[in-house]
Amino acid sequence: MSSFSRQMRLSSSLIKRLHRTTRSFTTTEGHRPSIVHKRSLDILHDPWFNKGTAFSMTERDRLDLRGLLPPNVMSPEQQIERFMVDLKRFEVIARDGPSDPNALAMWRILNRLHDRNETMYYKVLIAKIEEYAPIVYTPTVGLVCQNYSGLFRRPRGMYFSAADRGEMMSMVYNWPADQVDMIVVTDGSRILGLGDLGVQGIGIAIGKLDLYVAAAGMNPQRVLPVMIDVGTNNDKLLKDPLYLGLQEHRLDGEEYIAVLDEFMESVFTRWPNVIVQFEDFQSKWAFKLLQRYRNRYRMFNDDVQGTAGVAIAGLLGAVRAQGKPMIDFPKQKIVVAGAGSAGIGVLNAARKTMARMLGNNESAFDSARSQFWVVDAKGLITEERENIDPDALPFARKVNEAGRQGLREGASLVEVVRQVKPDVLLGLSAVGGLFSEEVLEALKCSTSTRPAIFAMSNPTKNAECTPEEAFSILGENIIFASGSPFKDVDLENGHIGHCNQGNNMYLFPGIGLGTLLSGSRVISDGMLQAAAECLAAYMTEEEVLKGTIYPPISRIRDITKKVAAAVIKEAIEEDLAEGYRDMDPRELRKLNNEEIVAYVQNNMWSPEYPTLVYKNE
């Protein structure tokens, strides 16, 4: 078969799936029309309203589009078919390495579609999320951020720089949408495991919001990616003549906080109901800003809180995969490599979960601490550590206790694994290959019947190990999860080693959507816990026993709906829910579980072209 006919076959199978997965994508009169205040070329240049060749003849007449488009009116399915031929030329599984140019080429093609026709873009993304999430999100988004100055064509989102101090309150009115539901903001200081990428980090905010639209059904007209450019400490970018951001060192201390404070005040003044997700801030600021804002604003930190929930769900899955009840979780010995925003977030949440299972009192909380061994760049953290980070202090091992185990301050990861014989080895270190052959060999001494490895660092090259390495050294009786997507491993004995993707994408969209629809003014620990428990309970006993502890990404819209419903339910129980639009809090309280899920479903946006009607402003 020629490559062209193969492409056409692939395209037509996609088209069939598109027909099946969504009811209608037509400009039918059955849908409520959208009012536009522009006509003619202004519409074609507006990705929120543009339908390209799918504008019907009556719409072309009504909106002064006649003569501005080729005469043949295409159906949305035909439009996608044409688009797919272009995209499929680069069909590869997107991974770092030799396929980078292909992954970037696919990102470019998708990005151009995003720029000209958002409805069609999200139609494609939702229908083929498994294939294109690795392009618009992790791992390719990392590569995109690294190359953003060269890839930048049309601006997307808003930029606030240190030079805008005193102006932000008026600047927010430059954004065209009167309603914004969701902001993802970064300062670019720690993009995935790639370090300080300065202004180029905007790519991650865009990628996260793509998932808000595709997975949570947020309306793309009401999401806003934001970059806070307070400079960069990346020497390469400071010297690069093509760099798009401020070429000065990062602001620090009070000056930095003043910029963030002004930004938060400005966006919440214009959009009082917005939710702000903090993303990829270096650990130094991630915790401080979370503490500063979480009781004042509707905000959360995805790397600290979203990751924690996903890890808890995975850790509980790993217990079930051993054939044990979840309540056995407090017996697990867990070695964590990495004590940054993500690692500490996971440790705190795991300790609290154990404590709850042990009786939810102070002594339970205290004893849960001894289940964790934390290794950072300087080795095992003990109370002997000089200038210990206060966030890591609660997890520092007591010197005597470490000594009894044959360990000391600064012991290497391999020594720790050898001595502790952990049930779980979890990496959030951003160091690719940290789980070396030696470390994996040491894990063979694990006292678990089914050891679990979480190589959660991103993107692909930063994963602490690959699934091939883990399965080939430890055999098939392990649980494996990674932050970036990897293929399952053929174990060559007729069995498959399952690779789970342990990524916060399974929670942040549902946390945001649930918060929005509950109308809660803050995002409580209980709401985050409810999200994690929902994800943990999502997998069936049978799936978990087969080693599948997270759902496939093709189910992300369904899991997000359920997570959002769990968040709403908890907000109601904590008396935080203030309602959303027509749904007032009293009515919200009357809904049963199924009705809450239906309420979420009914408020999820789907990519369908509305009929456009012009109205003079």
Ligand X SMILES: NC(=O)c1ccc[n+]([C@@H]2O[C@H](COP(=O)([O-])OP(=O)(O)OC[C@H]3O[C@@H](n4cnc5c(N)ncnc54)[C@H](O)[C@@H]3O)[C@@H](O)[C@H]2O)c1
Asked whether position 340 contacts ligand X by CB under 6 A, the answer is yes
C-alpha–C-alpha distance, residues 282 and 395, integer Å: 20
Binding site partner of 339, from Mg ion, ligand LMR, ligand X, none, Cβ cut-off 5-8 A by kind: ligand X
CB-based closest residue to ligand LMR: 138
φ, ψ of residue 574 in degrees (nearest 5): -85, 5
- Residue placing its CB nearer to Mg ion in the complex, 293 or 471: 293
Nearest alpha carbon to residue 325 among 538, 537, 548: 537
Strand 424-427 versus strand 334-337 pairing type = parallel
- Tell me, rounded to whole angstroms, the distance of Cα 327 from its chain centroid: 28
- Residue placing its CB nearer to ligand LMR in the complex, 131 or 280: 280
Binding site partner of 462, from ligand LMR, Mg ion, ligand X, none, Cβ cut-off 5-8 A by kind: ligand X
CB of 190 to ligand X, least distance (A): 5
Asked whether position 502 contacts ligand X by CB under 6 A, the answer is yes
Strands (E), 356-397: 372-376, 379-380
φ, ψ of residue 490 in degrees (nearest 5): -80, 115
Ramachandran quadrant class, 547 (left: phi over 0; alpha: psi -120 to 50; beta: rest): left
CB of 501 to ligand X, least distance (A): 8
Residues 272-301 that bind ligand X (CB under 6 A): 283
Asked whether position 515 contacts ligand X by CB under 6 A, the answer is no
Asked whether position 376 contacts ligand X by CB under 6 A, the answer is yes
C-alpha–C-alpha distance, residues 525 and 356, integer Å: 13
Q: Are 329 and 353 in contact (CB under 8 A)?
A: yes
| Residues 427-446 as x/- pattern, contact with ligand X by CB under 6 A | -xxxx--x------------
* The residue type at 587: E
- Residue placing its CB nearer to ligand X in the complex, 221 or 457: 457
Binder of ligand X out of 80, 182, 260, 339 (CB under 6 A): 339
Binding site partner of 277, from Mg ion, ligand X, ligand LMR, none, Cβ cut-off 5-8 A by kind: none
- Residue placing its CB nearer to ligand X in the complex, 434 or 517: 434
What letter would DSSP give residue 220?
Answer: G
Structure tokens at 594: 């199924």
C-alpha–C-alpha distance, residues 436 and 596, integer Å: 46
Asked whether position 342 contacts ligand X by CB under 6 A, the answer is yes
CB-based closest residue to ligand X: 340
Q: Which of 208, 561, 562, 569 is catalytic?
A: 208
Q: Are 115 and 33 in contact (CB under 8 A)?
A: no
CB of 242 to ligand X, least distance (A): 25
CB of 216 to ligand LMR, least distance (A): 16
C-alpha–C-alpha distance, residues 460 and 499, integer Å: 13
To the query of whether residue 208 is one of the catalytic residues in this protein, the response is yes
| Residues 300-339 as x/- pattern, contact with Mg ion by CB under 5 A | ---x------------------------------------
Three-state DSSP class for residue 536: helix
Asked whether position 496 contacts ligand X by CB under 6 A, the answer is no
Q: Are 612 and 36 in contact (CB under 8 A)?
A: yes
- Residue placing its CB nearer to ligand X in the complex, 237 or 588: 237
To the query of whether residue 243 is one of the catalytic residues in this protein, the response is no
Q: With CB under 6 A as the rule, give the number of residues binding ligand X.
A: 31
* The residue type at 407: L
- Residue placing its CB nearer to ligand LMR in the complex, 26 or 282: 282
Q: Which stretch binds Mg ion (CB under 5 A): 88-96, 218-226, 295-303, 368-376?
A: 295-303
Strand 334-337 versus strand 223-229 pairing type = unpaired
Sequence-separated (6 or more) residues with CB below 8 Å from residue 404: none
Q: Where along the sequence are the contacts to ligand LMR (CB under 6 A)?
A: 138, 192, 280, 302-303, 458, 483, 503-504
b/e per residue, 302-317, with b = 16+ CB within 10 A?
A: bbbbbbbbbbbbbbbb
Bridge partners (DSSP) of residue 227 are 159, 186
- Tell me, rounded to whole angstroms, the distance of Cα 152 from its chain centroid: 22
Binding site partner of 185, from Mg ion, ligand LMR, ligand X, none, Cβ cut-off 5-8 A by kind: none
Structure tokens at 236: 């390469």
CB of 138 to ligand LMR, least distance (A): 3
Q: Which of 122, 132, 137, 550 is catalytic?
A: 137
Binding site partner of 50, from Mg ion, ligand LMR, ligand X, none, Cβ cut-off 5-8 A by kind: none
Q: Which stretch binds ligand X (CB under 6 A): 256-264, 316-324, 372-380, 513-521?
A: 372-380
Binding site partner of 337, from Mg ion, ligand LMR, ligand X, none, Cβ cut-off 5-8 A by kind: ligand X
Nearest alpha carbon to residue 65 among 607, 609, 610, 614: 614
Strand 379-380 versus strand 372-376 pairing type = antiparallel
CB of 125 to ligand X, least distance (A): 20
Binding site partner of 501, from ligand LMR, Mg ion, ligand X, none, Cβ cut-off 5-8 A by kind: none
Distances (CA, A) of 212 to 47, 75, 189, 376, 606: 17, 26, 22, 32, 12
Distances (CA, A) of 95 to 10, 208, 450, 578: 21, 18, 28, 43
C-alpha–C-alpha distance, residues 66 and 57, integer Å: 8
φ, ψ of residue 575 in degrees (nearest 5): 60, 35
Asked whether position 341 contacts ligand X by CB under 6 A, the answer is yes
| Residues 266-285 as x/- pattern, contact with Mg ion by CB under 5 A | --------------x-----
Residues in contact with Mg ion by CB under 5 A are 280, 303
Residues in contact with ligand X by CB under 6 A are 190, 192-193, 283, 303, 307, 310, 337-343, 375-377, 413, 428-431, 434, 456-458, 462, 483, 502-504
User: Which residues are catalytic, by number?
Assistant: 137, 208
